[in-house]
Amino acid sequence: MASPPDAALTDYERLREENIRRNDAILASLRRKASELSAAIQSSSSSKRPKKQPPPPRATPIPVVLRRSLRTRGLPPSTSTSSSSAASPPAPESPPEAPCSTRLSSSLASAILAAASASPAAPPPVRDDGFDAGAELVLRPSHVRRVVPDRILSVRVLPLVDRTVVAAGNKLGNVGFWDVDGGAVAGADGVFEYLPHRGPVGAIVSHPATPQKIYSCCYEGEICLMDLEKENFNMIYLTDYPIFSLCQAPNSPSSLYLAEGNDLKLFDERMGKVSATWNLHDNRINSIDFHPENTYMLATSSTDGTACMWDLRNMKEKEPESLKVLEHGRSVQSAYFSPSGCMVATTSLDDTVRIFSVDDFGNSSIMKHNNKTGRWLSTFKAIWGWNDTDLFIGNMARAIDIILVDLNGSSLLAMNNARLESEHMTAIPGRFSAHPYKVGHLACASSGGKVFLWTRA
């Protein structure tokens, strides 16, 4: 009689076979339940599809309340007590009409027009070789004004023979005017504030032949003309690229040379369009300045670390060739000709102020100067005064350094001559402008919106 098949298996092998049969039964039961559940889900989803839920509504953003003093808002002093104001939360303030308007004040417009008509011959800027700035300039308490809010990027003393009007542009797009001689008539300390631009104001220019026309440019690609007769600002040029600097040709007030990024463009106001474009640098152009005598010669400075001399008569629109390239270690913030045109002074972030002889650029002098202003202050730009011997530049000690320059034949020397300090200079001066007709009227602007006017003692 034959033995059963499991007779030859050991106890361990029989236990293994029982475990396998039990696991197979469990898996078969799980597969059956899974198939039944899947069929039920498919039938329910096909019969009724759920509706898509709408997105939750967005929360209403809480408006940011800007706190501004009554003085800056152009309002009279309030008589309400502090307890009543603390009982209810402040409502969002609408911007003041006067500072944020492009409508000019009739008193400011009439004052500038009257001063412009007083000198129709447009005399050349005055020079005074014997003027001693270090000994004669003082800052009076009455010659300090907050012209615009926030950091000033450009300042200009208008070319008016018998009047002192300072224009300043800030990083918010404001352009302010300080009528120094007519403060009592104008009211509000002689300060008028407007908002013609959408971004930082890079330059303000006005030609001595047409002082009633005041141009300003901004980093948002705008050029505005202040129309004194219509008492408003007109946008005459708009581009998609930032405009960092602006300059007028000495012999043609309607020819505007603008630094649009790396390019230099000629905008003819009479034609209302750009008539020429030159790609001059590898990075943004920071300044444009014409030679006072040779009107075809100009100087540019750039963030690419160079300052270049150009001859407009020989500049080709494609790959223009410069007369001279002045290399610097870092970005060059400015390059300005001296009043006679014999020299050009540059200011660079490599902590130098360099002076070059135009007749021989190898004849130069280098002055060490701390030009690291940081990101919150306007960069330093050294300017010439009323002669070929004085350069003015701000410093981090809330003072003005006067650099003495001496060009004698083949020898060019520069040295720190004096420092202008005053207890009324409460901020670091970054940008400067000298009155073209009043020797000893030097305006400097700070990153807090203040303008300081130094005058003769």
Q: What's the pLDDT band for 125 if we cut at 50, 70, 90?
A: confident
Q: What is the mean pLDDT of the chain?
A: 85
Q: What's the pLDDT band for 135 if we cut at 50, 70, 90?
A: very high
CATH 1.20.58.1610 is right for the domain spanning 132-456: no
* pLDDT at 413 > cutoff 50: yes
* pLDDT at 58 > cutoff 60: no
Pick from 15-29, 156-170, 315-329: least confident: 15-29
pTM over 0.95: no
Q: Which percentage of the chain shows pLDDT scores above 90?
A: 63
Q: What's the pLDDT band for 98 if we cut at 50, 70, 90?
A: very low
Query: What would the pLDDT profile of 294-306 be if each residue is shown by its tens digit?
Result: 999 999 999 999 9
Q: What's the pLDDT band for 327 if we cut at 50, 70, 90?
A: very high
Cα–Cα distance for residue pair 132/389, rounded to 1 Å:
10
Q: What's the pLDDT band for 28 if we cut at 50, 70, 90?
A: confident
Which residue from 236, 241, 290 is spatially nearest to 268, judged by alpha carbons?
236
Q: Which percentage of the chain shows pLDDT scores above 70?
A: 82
Which residue from 437, 384, 432, 451 is spatially nearest to 160, judged by alpha carbons?
437
Q: What's the pLDDT band for 111 if we cut at 50, 70, 90?
A: confident
pLDDT of residue 93: 41
Residues 6 or more apart whose CB falls under 8 angstroms from that of 408 comprise none
pLDDT of residue 321: 93
Average pLDDT over residues 159-168: 93
pLDDT of residue 203: 97
Average pLDDT over residues 150-171: 95
Pick from 32-46, 86-100, 307-321, 429-443: least confident: 86-100
